[in-house]
Amino acid sequence: MPHLIAPSVLAANFGQLDKDVEMLNHSTADWIHVDVMDGRFVPNISFGFPVLHAINKVAQKPLDVHLMIEHPELYIEQFRAGGASVITVHYEACPHLHRTVEQIKATGAQAGVALNPHTPVAFLSEIIQDLDVVCLMSVNPGFGGQKFIAHTYHKIKELKALIESKESGCLIEIDGGVNQDNAPLLLAAGADVLVAGSYVFNSQNPAQTILDLKQIKK
């Protein structure tokens, strides 16, 4: 399967979010990654429902909604109603992860689970068959523009082995500090979806940058 590119609108220009989403519509981006932060699970606050609705009005690509929030189970249906196609919750925020994953799937959305950099891949061994996406955080969540953490490569390999051993069809998504230098190595290690925020939106030509990431050979 060709890899997917999911630009993160956390790094978009807020004065022209609608124009940036229009640009993504006409680009080779596959998904639009929306980071939701609550100021509790992570030390930053980003989008809530009104912004998600505004993005969804313009977006013609699936919205990949990443919930960096405590108690995500309280809001799953609202995020789905706001246009989320993929809903990703954090392993570290979900004591009843199986129930929360079932709740996401019951809405018709694809279910993702994100792991912080320090969380072992093996913690997903009993739920990997139920997941559509595993998002490996390659920075500590909360902010765009951080430095990529290199031990992500070995987590990708471990996750790939777990997915194969359990015959799961889930995708491996990498989020944080992705750029043209590390993207080929991430894909070679087994990544399927690359989230990129500042690398795309701070570039001279974001659509071309997305195309360049898309055209990397595995």
Ligand X SMILES: O=C(CO)[C@H](O)[C@H](O)COP(=O)(O)O
The torsion defined by the Cα of 187, 36, 77 and 114, in degrees rounded to 10, comes to 40
Q: Which two tokens mark 194? A: 């690359």
Closest CA relative to residue 175, chosen from 66, 58, 22: 66
Specify whether 35 is catalytic.
yes
Specify whether 175 is catalytic.
yes
**Residue 198 in marked binding region:** yes
Q: Are 87 and 112 in contact (CB under 8 A)?
A: yes
- Give me the catalytic one of 35, 38, 132, 192: 35
Least Cβ distance, residue 143 to ligand X (angstroms): 6
Least Cβ distance, residue 22 to ligand X (angstroms): 20
HSE toward the beta carbon, residue 70, CA cutoff 13 A: 7
**Residue 108 in marked binding region:** no
CA pseudo-torsion sign 77, 79, 82, 86: negative
Beta bridge partners of 6: 195
Least Cβ distance, residue 9 to ligand X (angstroms): 9
**Residue 27 in marked binding region:** no
Identify the helix (H) or strand (E) that includes residue 136: strand 133-137
- Give me the catalytic one of 20, 38, 132, 175: 175
Q: Can you give the binding site for ligand X, defined by CB under 6 A? A: 8, 10-11, 33, 35, 68, 139, 141-146, 175-178, 195-199
**Residue 169 in marked binding region:** no
Which residue's CB atom is positioned nearest to ligand X?
197
**Residue 39 in marked binding region:** no
Nearer to ligand X, 28 or 116 (CB): 116
Beta bridge partners of 196: 7
Nearer to ligand X, 130 or 146 (CB): 146
Residue 2 burial by CB count (10 A; 0-12/13-18/19+): exposed, middle or buried?
exposed
Least Cβ distance, residue 24 to ligand X (angstroms): 14
Nearer to ligand X, 21 or 168 (CB): 21
Q: Are 151 and 121 in contact (CB under 8 A)?
A: no
Nearer to ligand X, 107 or 203 (CB): 203
Nearer to ligand X, 37 or 168 (CB): 37
Least Cβ distance, residue 106 to ligand X (angstroms): 26
Separation of alpha carbons 197 and 183, rounded Å = 13
Q: Which residues are annotated as a binding site for a divalent metal cation?
A: 33, 35, 66, 175
Q: Which residues are annotated as a binding site?
A: 8, 33, 35, 66, 142-145, 175-177, 197-198
Query: Would you please indicate which residues are annotated as catalytic (active-site) residues?
Result: 35, 175
